[in-house]
Amino acid sequence: MTSVHIPRCRVAQGCLAAAAAAMFLPWQTVAEQGADSQLGTGSSEGQIIFIVSLVMIGLIQVGWRPAWIGAGFVGAITVREILELAGDDAASPAIGLWIATIAAVAAVVLLVWDMFANVSAPDDDGPEGRGLSGPLGRRRR
């Protein structure tokens, strides 16, 4: 039986794509208006999450290791919105916000894990321990 290796960065890109797609799902449910719901793209925070998620997918693709910062930003916005809506009696968090939160937190965990796993991993053409040099390659002396 062979094992299939899926890189952590690809899974993190999928998580960020799920967070971006979740902005088209209900973000919050307003109880006063007969269970009316607002989409994530209907708020400025949802639009920021959508744009930052797409930008981070592209930066992960080019190999930018600090992409976890953007994924953490998406996670922080969603957690803040959940906490804000939890204290509001008129509205409650809906499924889109929960999906975006879980996906963003998973992406952060995977990206940080990948970053630390590759710090001391030897490259094929270079010495060990220079893994944080970025997408432009390591500096030559």
Query: Looking at the domain assignment, is residue 54 inside a domain?
Result: yes
Distance (Å, rounded) from C-alpha 41 to C-alpha 20? 10
* Tens digit of each residue's pLDDT (9 = 90 or more) over 22-39: 999 888 777 665 556 777
Query: Looking at the domain assignment, is residue 126 inside a domain?
Result: no
pLDDT band at residue 86 using 50, 70 and 90 as cut-offs: confident
Is 18 strand, coil or helix? Answer: helix
Q: Angle at the Cα of 118 (from 112 to 121), degrees rounded to 5? A: 155
Domain that holds residue 73: 9-115
pTM: 0.75
**Distance (Å) of CA 34 to CA 29, 50, 88, 91:** 9, 27, 16, 11
* Tens digit of each residue's pLDDT (9 = 90 or more) over 92-119: 788 888 999 999 999 999 988 888 877 7
Distance (Å, rounded) from C-alpha 114 to C-alpha 68? 10
Query: Looking at the domain assignment, is residue 122 inside a domain?
Result: no
Q: Angle at the Cα of 45 (from 87 to 35), degrees rounded to 5? A: 50
Mean pLDDT on 77-88:
86
Count of domains observed in the chain: 1
Query: Looking at the domain assignment, is residue 1 inside a domain?
Result: no
* Tens digit of each residue's pLDDT (9 = 90 or more) over 43-55: 888 899 999 999 9
